[in-house]
Structures are given as C-alpha cells and as structure tokens.
Structure 1
Amino acid sequence: MEHPTAVQNPGPVLEATNLATLCGSAVFFLLMFVYVAPAVLRKVFPQYASLPASKRIIMDDAFDHPLVRLGAAIETAYEFLGLLLSLSIPALRLPSFIFHHALVSCMAVVQMIYKCSPHTHNLGFICMTSNVFLNNRTLLNGVGKGNTKFAMWNGIALAVVFFYVRIAMLGVEWWHVYHMAMQPGYFQNVPFLVFLVDIPCNFLFTILNCYWFSKICRIGWKITFGKAKNN
C-alpha cells in the first residue's frame, strides 16, 4: 500500500515556521548590516569613519561573513547527524563514511567559530551541490530505476559536477592556502584550530574527494564498457 503523501501530492507549501524563520533572519541580518557592523568597524578601525559612504557600505556587509558562518552552523549539524547515523546503523557503518563525516564535522565547527578563511567555508558549501545528484542516484537505485535514461543522465551530471566542485575547485582552495601560509608570521600567529583546517584537514579532504571521484569514474567505466561488452 502506498504512503498517502505519494498519492495526494499536495504540491509546494509555505509553512508558517519557515515564513517566521525567513522574516526573523531578514531582521537579524538587517540589524547586523545597519547597526552592528558600522559600530564595530568604527571602534576597531578609526580610519573607517573618514571613508566615503560608498566604501563603508561594502565593508559593513562583508567584514564578518555572518551568513557564511551561519551556513557552517547548519552544515555542522548535518554532518554530526551523518556521523551519528554512520556509527549507529550497521548498513552505514563504513570506515569511509565515518571518516568523511568526522573530518567534515571538525572542519565545519572551526569554520562556524572563527571569523577567518571565508574561502574555506564557501568551498565546503560549493562541494555540497554535488550531493543532489549523488542522493538522486541512491534513490533511483533503491527503487529499481538505476538503469533508466534519467539515471544515466543523472550519473553524467554527478560526474561533471563532482569534478568541478570537488576536484577542480581544490586548486582554487590550495592557491588561497599557499598564499596565506606564505604570509610572514602565519605559523606563529594563526590559531591552532584554524591551522588544522587550513592545511592538515584540507589535505585529508583533498585525498577523500579524489577517492570518491575515483569510485565515480570506476562505476561509470564499468557501466559504459560493461554494456558495450554485453551488446
């Protein structure tokens, strides 16, 4: 028997909770933009007050990256939950899953706390876009639709998007890390947790992404040339 929601399909719904969250978030960031950021900048940088209004407003909006750190908080909860599920459910208790969620959880916590390395935060969010196609593949295989044309195009999209956001973008990330590490006093002054994210964790994350991409390539090769042999 089908689940009722699968039959009724009510369509998109704007829930009151989501609407209230949307309004509250808008008010919060408006207050940050109009009142908090200018006050902090005037206190920390005396020369801020002498800047033209056109330059001050750009600094007001960008100095703290609060939206990025809020996103890191959301990602932290997501990764922690994934780690707990990997530890508690036998089918998910794979070393690669546990290592992946543990590593990203640690990185997300540091990104949420510290007001630095915004490029690292943003890279993490960019990487998440490949999960859409990965989750589609899992669902299609689970319901017996893994051999359909839609599944084939979803697999192609997964390979292309994964390569772009998790492999090619790593070059951008390491370019930033290199230029940061070359700054005088970086290793003496940077907080230890930030250093862990910048270099050791990023290195492990790079290896992990290359490992996942190699699995995608092996599956694609097997499907493509396996079919050719069968035909």
Structure 2
Amino acid sequence: MDTRELTVVVGSFVGFQLLCSVVSPLLSTTISPGYAQLPSHKHIEWNSRMVSTVHALIVGFFCLYILWFDDVVNANPVWGDPSLVKLNVAITCGYLLYDLVLLACNWSTMGDSFFVCHHLAALYAYGYVLTRGVLPYFANFRLISELSTPFVNQRWFFEALKYPRSHRMVVLNGLAMAVVFFLVRIAVMPSYWASVFATFGTPEFERLGLGAQVAWIISCIALDILNTIWMYKITRGAYKVLMGTRGRKGKDAAECLDKKDHINNHTD
C-alpha cells in the first residue's frame, strides 16, 4: 500500500467518525424532529446508518464510473491499472475500520460477531487489492452491491420513527429495496462469473498465486449464496405486501423485509 492509499484509508476513517458523531446528529435533528425523541442507543444506530448510506452512495457511484470509463481495468480485470479502484477500496477499508471501532464501543447494543468476522474477512480480501494491486475489476464489481444499502437503512429509519408498515412510503421503499437488491446483487451474477471463468487457466490467473485465488473464489461463492437466500426472503415479503395479505401473513411479510435491515447495513 503506497502513501496515497494509506492517506485515503486514514482520511476515510476520520471522516466517517466525524460524520457519525458530529454531522449526523446536527443534520438529523434539523430534518427529522422524531430523531430527538429516540433513546440514546437508537441515536447511535441512526447515526451509524446515516454514515452507512453516505458510504454506500460514494462507493457505489464510484464503482459505476470505473466500470463505464476505466478502460484499462476493464481490459485486464486481473492485473489492470488499479489506481481508481484502490482509491475506492481504500475508502471502504476506512469505513470498515470505523465500523469495527463503533461496534466495539457499543457492543452491548450493536455488537454482532457476524459483522466482525465479515469486516475482518473483507479487510483481508481488499488488502490484496491495496498491497498487490490485483483483481481490480472484480473488487470494484463486488462493491456495486452497496447501492442497495440506502434502501435498507431507509426502512430502518421508517421503523425507528414508528411509521406504520402499511404506510405508502414504507411499502414503496420496501419494493424499491427488492428491485435494487435484485439488480445489483442477483442480476449481475451471470456477467460477473462469466468474467471470472474467462480468467481461469490464463497466465494472469496463475500469477495471482494460490492464496489470492482461494480468497477470491471462495469469498465470492459464499457471498452469492447469501445474496440468493436474502433475495428469496425479500421476494416473499414483497409478494405478500403486493397481494395485500392480512393478519399473521402480513406480519410475516414485514418480517421478511426486515431481515435485510441488519444484513446489508455493512459493506460486502
């Protein structure tokens, strides 16, 4: 990792800390009167999700820009010039470190061993990109999934403010979450894996070494299995909402949508 990427990681970490502790409380108090009425532990998670949304939008749109305009990375997905991708990954690494600190400091209310393992694994995988400059296209492609995160966080905001689950905005956000999740996590699978398989047996693939190969392939398989399971649950919930199911089924539908609340507050 060179000085530029290290500076971005540190700057990202500090910036997200300030956004969580200073900017989010001031902004949230102004735009949402209900924020002040929430208990303190809800304030912490609210601010955390505000940061999560900001991170997701920055990284997600940066990913799209790289996919559309970075011809070098697209031409050689394994060893192409990773300059822009490394900046994007550095932002994400700073966010992951910030979130680990936040979880550690608020373990009684927000602590989750799954997220700690997820973050550490992600930092390990992204470390290959920052230190060796490998797999820039694939690292960038995976980060597109962050574009579904704002809808997940928005659903939590509605829930925290006690919006009825039948409220039009809640339903529309839930359906939008399902659509965007499908587009950025499921629909992209064939294209992604076609690119992966195209590298097998090539000199570029062999240069990676076994460690990078295993970390890359195994993590992607596990992630896509989880994405498929989550998509199934979201689809069931969205279908029941659209069909206007009442009673216990309606409650189950909302719970199915709610399952995404904690799964995707963090980066992949």
Deviations 1:124-175 (A, max 9, x none): 2211111111111111111112522111111111111111111121222211
Q: Residue 41 of structure 2 corresponds to which residue in structure 1? A: none
Say whether the 8 Å CA contact 2:134–2:208 is kept in structure 1.
no
Comparing 160-169 with 89-98, which one deviates more in the overlay? 89-98
Q: Distance in 1 between matches of 2:30 and 2:203?
A: 63
One of 92, 109, 129 as aligned partner of 1:75: 92
Q: Residue 151 of structure 1 corresponds to which residue in structure 2? A: 170
One of 127, 130, 145 as aligned partner of 1:109: 127
Say whether the 8 Å CA contact 1:83–1:98 is kept in structure 2.
yes
Q: Distance in 2 between matches of 1:229 and 1:90?
A: 35
Q: Distance in 2 between matches of 1:67 and 1:146?
A: 43
Normalized against structure 1, the TM-score is what?
A: 0.63
Q: Residue 195 of structure 1 corresponds to which residue in structure 2? A: 213
Deviations 1:164-212 (A, max 9, x none): 111121222211111112325834x323442134311111121222233
Q: 1:149 to 1:117 in 2, by over 3 A?
A: same
One of 165, 179, 182 as aligned partner of 2:201: 182
Q: Residue 146 of structure 2 corresponds to which residue in structure 1? A: 128
Comparing 212-221 with 71-80, which one deviates more in the overlay? 212-221
Q: 1:91 to 1:216 in 2, by over 3 A?
A: farther
Residues matched between the structures, number: 177
Deviation at 1:219, TM superposition (A): 3.2
Q: Distance in 1 between matches of 2:204 and 2:193?
A: 19
1:119 aligns with 2:114: no
Bigger CA radius of gyration: 1
Say whether the 8 Å CA contact 2:171–2:241 is kept in structure 1.
no
Q: Residue 24 of structure 1 corresponds to which residue in structure 2? A: none
Say whether the 8 Å CA contact 2:125–2:216 is kept in structure 1.
no
Indicate the SS of the match to 1:228.
coil
One of 212, 226, 229 as aligned partner of 1:208: 226
Q: Distance in 1 between matches of 2:99 and 2:27?
A: 25
> Where do 5+ consecutive residues of structure 2 fail to align?
1-24, 32-70, 251-268
1:1-231 aligned within 5 A = 5=27, 64-86=81-103, 89-147=107-165, 148-183=167-202, 186-187=205-206, 189-225=207-243, 227-230=244-247
Q: Which has the higher contact order (CA 8 A, sep 6+)?
A: 2
Between the two proteins, what is the percent identity of the paired residues?
A: 25
Q: 1:110 to 1:211 in 2, by over 3 A?
A: farther
> Where do 5+ consecutive residues of structure 1 fail to align?
10-57
Q: Distance in 2 between matches of 1:84 and 1:75?
A: 14
Equivalent residue letter for 1:152 = V
Normalized against structure 2, the TM-score is what?
A: 0.56
Q: Distance in 2 between matches of 1:113 and 1:216?
A: 37
Indicate the SS of the match to 1:201.
helix
